[in-house]
Structure 1
Amino acid sequence: MSTMAFGALQIAFDEHVLRPRPWTLAQSQWAQQLLAAAPTGPVLELCCGAGQIGLAAVAGTTRSLVCVDLEATAVAFCRANAAAAGLTDRVEVRHGAMDEVVGAEERFALVIADPPWVPSTQTARFPEDPLLAIDGGDDGLAVARTCLQVVGTHLAPGGSAVLQVGTEAQLDLLDLPAGEAGLALLERRVLDGGVLGRFGLPGSG
């Protein structure tokens, strides 16, 4: 097991979980800024891994957080990291497929997602990363599309989703599935190691 600083948090992880990327703290910071004007309600983190992005987003706020991941080891680390941050009473971690473990009636003020976005044919370029955490299918966007479906179903009116992918070209390719989910790409930010897109209801600015 290893630990590393992620903002003000200390995050534990091992080789079965994607190592936290320092630049993804920008996703947490943007999410926290959006929470200041977001509707009431909890935050949802999809593909949470060790939980660092969601935990950093809600730390210092009063929001509760639901974290979801398909990998059992990631779920265990996320729970441990929530406890280490003193956030156990506000964080629920769920193990399973994102489109199965979120209740039909649940709505979230903000959704955060850093899904796998490496095309399957390119995953060998990252031998130290666990395959489940990086393999995004043929074009790298299979999991991201599922994220948008979940967002479209569970985002509260006036809320936002902040999703990370690898390139601006990938983000552009999500325009159609976002529209099919009832969402629009409202804003983008380019990071050192990826691209963030903010999605919400069309016309919400």
Structure 2
Amino acid sequence: MKQGKSIRPKKPSQTRQVRIIGGIWKRTPLAVIDSEGLRPTPDRVRETLFNWLTHLLDGRWSQVRCLDLFAGTGALGFEAASRGATQVLMVEHNTPAVRQLEQTKAKLDAAQVQIQRTDALSALQNAGTQNTRFHLIFLDPPYHLDWLAKTLPLCERLLETGGLVYVEAEFSLAEPDDGAELPGWMDGWQVVRSDKAGMVFYHLLQRQLT
């Protein structure tokens, strides 16, 4: 009589992680919870991005106030705080993700980080009514839901003069495919840096001088 194949027990799923790349918390792991739409910025992209930012900001991180919309794992916001940003406001609507952000903040004793559980539009509108200004806004929304069209125009009034907006998208904002025109919500914005990693298009935007 043939023996049936033994069934191996499934290995428990491993928690995914990303790591802070530079600054005082360099190499600190950040847990990536299993949640639909959560897409942390890859390490390689963050390394390039923060090289750009350090150059454009002339290394003056201690003067920078950041807004991290769609914060997710907090990889962008905690990276900025690690490098010396004086204030980082993280906005996230997903409750488990918010809990993870709060745990990370406590572990790092990151007093300069604030966490708001709310949606991006409410956060932008609230900041606008309070006349809050930021030098740097991270805008990394879920794809294919028109979040950029809804949020980028609201970012303009929250930026300090010469401020920067980091945008990740499923398409290029610098060189549209097939000669297509840029969407109307890009009017008045200049792409100062851009690149692509796999299917991720990432950019630094600044308001055009008039």
Pair in the same fold by TM > 0.5: yes
- Is 1:145 the counterpart of 2:149? The answer is yes
- Is 1:197 the counterpart of 2:210? The answer is no
Q: Which has the higher contact order (CA 8 A, sep 6+)?
A: 1
Q: CA RMSD in A?
A: 2.8
Change (3 A) 1:169 1:154: closer
Structure with greater helix share of residues: 1
8 Å contact from structure 1 (residues 38, 110) kept in 2? no
Please name the residue that 1:25 is paired with: 46
Match of 1:112, SS? strand
Unmatched 5+ stretches in structure 1: 118-135
For residue 16 of structure 1, report the CA deviation from its aligned partner. 2.2
For residue 38 of structure 1, report the CA deviation from its aligned partner. 6.9
For residue 74 of structure 1, report the CA deviation from its aligned partner. 1.6
Please name the residue that 1:109 is paired with: 135
Deviations 1:40-77 (A, max 9, x none): 44101111101012211231214210011221222221
Equivalent residue in structure 2 for 1:10, among 13, 29, 42:
29
For residue 5 of structure 1, report the CA deviation from its aligned partner. 3.9
Deviations 1:70-119 (A, max 9, x none): 212222212222232332x10001111222124221110011121112xx
Residues 143-152 or 12-21, more deviating: 12-21
Paired with 1:177 and 1:165, the residues of 2 have a C-alpha distance of 14
TM score, norm. by length of structure 2: 0.72
- Code of the residue aligned with 1:143 in structure 2: it is W
Q: Percent identity?
A: 17
- Code of the residue aligned with 1:185 in structure 2: it is V
8 Å contact from structure 1 (residues 38, 158) kept in 2? no
Change (3 A) 1:23 1:166: farther
Equivalent residue in structure 1 for 2:121, among 88, 99, 106:
99
For residue 24 of structure 1, report the CA deviation from its aligned partner. 3.7
TM score, norm. by length of structure 1: 0.74
How many residues align? The count is 179
Please name the residue that 1:49 is paired with: 72
8 Å contact from structure 2 (residues 30, 75) kept in 1? yes
For residue 193 of structure 1, report the CA deviation from its aligned partner. 4.0
1:51-130 paired onto structure 2 within 5 Å: 51-87=74-110, 89-102=111-124, 103-104=127-128, 105-117=131-143
